[in-house]
Chain A
Amino acid sequence: MKNYTNTGNVDTRSGFGAGLAELGAENSNVVALCADLTGSLKMGDFKSQFPDRFFQVGIAEANMMGIAAGMTIGGKIPFTGTFANFSTGRVYDQIRQSIAYSGKNVKICASHAGLTLGEDGATHQILEDLGMMKMLPGMTVINPCDYNQTKAATKAIADYDGPVYLRFGRPKVPNFTPENQKFDIGKAQILQEGADISIFAIGHLVWEALEAAKILDEKGIKADVINLATIKPLDEKAVIDSAKKTNAVITAEEHNYYGGLGESVSRTLAQHHPTKQAFVATQDTFGESGKPHELLDKYGLNAKAIVEKAERLLV
């Protein structure tokens, strides 16, 4: 078993903020837009260091997406910042026509995704955003797992020409991937190698998958743990290779099981290596108010739930 050390709990949105501020210094074409959530998105450093390249649009997300699309004409690389809910469902048609169909180089950066937004409740806890975004032709969809990886992904997407949806979250979670890593868009990260079951995870559930793998190891079950931070384009080879080895798959995500990572993995395997699969995801439901860890427990999105589903799958 590899051991991953949590260097301290940090929010992934702060990784975004740190990456964006570094980008500001490195690339004068990077501009940032925010819809009245500068503090929540941790865009304050960029705003104070590069005020001429920061655009406060107010509570008007549709306009923000359009302005971002327009700003690409002439070579700017706009990063939009608001909650995941207002980054997707509220502005789907603007993203579809002005960004995706028009092939614009906009980076849609979305915080407070999923249940772990916590006490604000279901109005703000989007569990459908990955589905909406991955259905758009040409859209790259990324959900990194911790602070360091979110920072690396933020920087990587500036160098990639095309629309990107970058999803991250609010709570402080373990930071365990290397500092100053390079993020490869579309490449899976194999965190743990085993032979009995494959656990494919994204976002906050990656740490939970590693915790689950430890528990399973004690029970004599050796798990592959693979971080599929890029949901689209999916690293299909990594998925197929692992499934061929284990013939049992768990997917873990803070998202509805309709439209999420689980379905992307299912489609890949149905085409190349049909494999039994269990889904750690919300079961077509809205969320509710509560503390992040309480919600993850109630909706079955933690290490305990992964272990239970793994044991059931392997019976």
Chain B
Amino acid sequence: MATEPSLEDFVQQVRRDILRQVHAVNSGHPGGSLGCAEFFTVLFKEVMRYDPSFDPDGKGEDIFFLSNGHISPVYYSVLARCGFFEVDELNTFRKINSRLQGHPTTHEGLPGIRIASGSLGQGMSIAIGAAQTKKLNNDQHLVYSLHGDGELQEGQNWEAIMYAGSKGIDNLIATIDHNGQQIDGATKDVMPLNNIKAKLEAFDWQVIEVSNGNDIKQISHSLAQAKKISGKGKPTALILNTVMGNGVDYMMHTHEWHGKAPNDQLLEKGLAQNPETLGDY
């Protein structure tokens, strides 16, 4: 019997999937996707309890919402490799008649997706709503969400953050991908977010900072801690300090690869840095 792959091997294969998906259609968002490969891996392989046969209502299981929908390549790769759909379907990413739309959607019925995202700033409200329904249904499972740091510039987030803090939505664990980059450049130059932790705490959230958001052990430890402090009257946020493009050297520490695919030569370079582990699609 095959043994479960290590989380490190899983991450490495996810990186390959990300690069190959965006390269194949010369479009998509590899930078943010790579920066969150470890987070997705730990969340789906270790933390969440769910059934990959997929019930859109998500009753009696943990559920996840991706608010910054442009990092769909990492989401699709992890969903496929966790059994939500065939890994070969990654071949259809962003192609016509595909369930793997540029940004995730429920419209084509892709298992694993419960809401469309892409137009930024909406996922926090969605996660809060789903968390409230879990409470009404006496469902003890948790709601997880992921948001870009640049995305916090959208005002709806702050309506939602105010609401969750005031109403004590304590079955929600929202993670901020703090990579400090957005399309036009460094977030500190475009529209500084300054002290996100202090802002969230001012809205009555409990906040856990993850100094290296690309370190599997740190992510795992922080999510376990978040789970432990949930259910005590306050929503929880994880600030995940990540490196955009992590694991592919020429994509790291720059916004340049936010929404750009590598050419043939750079694809090979990126793949060489991340040898096949679970088998390419």
> Is B136 touching A76 in the complex (CB atoms < 8 A)?
yes
B244 at the interface (CB under 8 A from A): no
A228 at the interface (CB under 8 A from B): no
Give A31's nearest chain B residue, CB to CB. Answer: B136
Give B169's nearest chain A residue, CB to CB. Answer: A67
> Is B163 touching A57 in the complex (CB atoms < 8 A)?
yes
Against B, the Cβ 8 Å flags (1 = close, 0 = not) of A132-152 are 000000000000000000000
> Is A69 touching B129 in the complex (CB atoms < 8 A)?
yes
> Is A75 touching B115 in the complex (CB atoms < 8 A)?
no
B81 at the interface (CB under 8 A from A): no
Q: Smallest distance from the beta carbon of A150 to chain B beta carbons, Å?
A: 26
A94-102, A163-171, A185-193, A297-305: which lies at the B interface?
A: A94-102
Q: Which residues of A contact B137 (CB under 8 A)?
A: 74-75
> Is A97 touching B129 in the complex (CB atoms < 8 A)?
no
Against B, the Cβ 8 Å flags (1 = close, 0 = not) of A210-224 are 000000000000000
Give A28's nearest chain B residue, CB to CB. Answer: B136
For the complex, give the distance between the alpha carbons of A64 and B159 in Å.
9
Q: Smallest distance from the beta carbon of B57 to chain A beta carbons, Å?
A: 5
Q: Which residues of B contact A94 (CB under 8 A)?
A: 122, 125, 156
A52 at the interface (CB under 8 A from B): yes
Give A65's nearest chain B residue, CB to CB. Answer: B125
> Is A63 touching B132 in the complex (CB atoms < 8 A)?
no
Against B, the Cβ 8 Å flags (1 = close, 0 = not) of A32-59 are 0000000000000000000011010110
Q: Which residues of B contact A226 (CB under 8 A)?
A: none
Choose one: A60, A66, A74, A103; the contact of B122 (CB below 8 Å).
A66
Choose one: A65, A78, A98; the contact of B115 (CB below 8 Å).
A98
For the complex, give the distance between the alpha carbons of A75 and B130 in Å.
10
For the complex, give the distance between the alpha carbons of A62 and B105 in Å.
19
> Is A66 touching B56 in the complex (CB atoms < 8 A)?
no
A274 at the interface (CB under 8 A from B): no
> Is A73 touching B125 in the complex (CB atoms < 8 A)?
no
For the complex, give the distance between the alpha carbons of A64 and B160 in Å.
9
Against B, the Cβ 8 Å flags (1 = close, 0 = not) of A69-93 are 1111111101000000000000001
Q: Which residues of B contact A98 (CB under 8 A)?
A: 115-116, 122, 125-126
Contacts known (A66-B122, A66-B129, A97-B119); A74 close to B134, Cβ less than 8 A = yes
Contacts known (A67-B129, A67-B163, A94-B156); A73 close to B57, Cβ less than 8 A = yes
Contacts known (A63-B163, A74-B58, A75-B133); A69 close to B128, Cβ less than 8 A = no
A68 at the interface (CB under 8 A from B): yes
For the complex, give the distance between the alpha carbons of A153 and B233 in Å.
38
Choose one: A66, A74, A103; the contact of B133 (CB below 8 Å).
A74
B63 at the interface (CB under 8 A from A): yes
Contacts known (A62-B156, A63-B125, A67-B125); A74 close to B130, Cβ less than 8 A = yes
Against A, the Cβ 8 Å flags (1 = close, 0 = not) of B122-151 are 111111111111101101000000000000
For the complex, give the distance between the alpha carbons of A104 and B117 in Å.
13
B16 at the interface (CB under 8 A from A): no
> Is A97 touching B57 in the complex (CB atoms < 8 A)?
no
For the complex, give the distance between the alpha carbons of A78 and B133 in Å.
10
Q: Which residues of B contact A76 (CB under 8 A)?
A: 133, 136
Contacts known (A63-B163, A73-B57); A101 close to B107, Cβ less than 8 A = yes
> Is B136 touching A73 in the complex (CB atoms < 8 A)?
no
Contacts known (A66-B129, A101-B116); A73 close to B163, Cβ less than 8 A = no
Q: Which residues of A contact B122 (CB under 8 A)?
A: 62, 66, 93-94, 97-98
> Is B129 touching A68 in the complex (CB atoms < 8 A)?
yes
B267 at the interface (CB under 8 A from A): no
Contacts known (A53-B136, A67-B132); A60 close to B119, Cβ less than 8 A = no
Against A, the Cβ 8 Å flags (1 = close, 0 = not) of B156-190 are 10011011000000000000000000000000000
Give B115's nearest chain A residue, CB to CB. Answer: A102
Q: Which residues of B contact A74 (CB under 8 A)?
A: 57-59, 130, 133-134, 136-137, 139
> Is B160 touching A63 in the complex (CB atoms < 8 A)?
yes
> Is B129 touching A102 in the complex (CB atoms < 8 A)?
no
> Is B119 touching A93 in the complex (CB atoms < 8 A)?
yes
B106 at the interface (CB under 8 A from A): yes
Q: Which residues of A contact B105 (CB under 8 A)?
A: 101-102
Q: Smallest distance from the beta carbon of A13 to chain B beta carbons, Å?
A: 24
For the complex, give the distance between the alpha carbons of A63 and B58 in Å.
21
Q: Which among A53, A62, A65 has the highest number of chain B CB atoms within 10 Å?
A: A62
What are 14 contact pairs spanning A and B, CB under 8 A? Answer: A58-B159, A62-B122, A62-B159, A63-B160, A66-B122, A66-B124, A66-B129, A67-B126, A70-B115, A70-B125, A73-B58, A73-B63, A74-B130, A98-B126
Q: Which 10 A-B pairs have the closest CB atoms?
A: A70-B129, A66-B125, A74-B133, A63-B159, A60-B159, A67-B129, A70-B126, A71-B129, A70-B130, A62-B156
Known: A62-B155, A70-B129. 14 other contacts (CB 8 A): A31-B136, A58-B159, A60-B163, A62-B156, A63-B160, A66-B126, A67-B163, A73-B58, A73-B63, A73-B130, A74-B58, A74-B130, A102-B106, A103-B107
Q: What residues make up the interface of B, taking CB atoms closer than 8 Å to A? A: 56-59, 63, 65, 105-107, 114-119, 122-134, 136-137, 139, 155-156, 159-160, 162-163
Q: What residues make up the interface of A, taking CB atoms closer than 8 Å to B? A: 31, 52-53, 55, 57-58, 60, 62-76, 78, 93-94, 96-98, 101-104
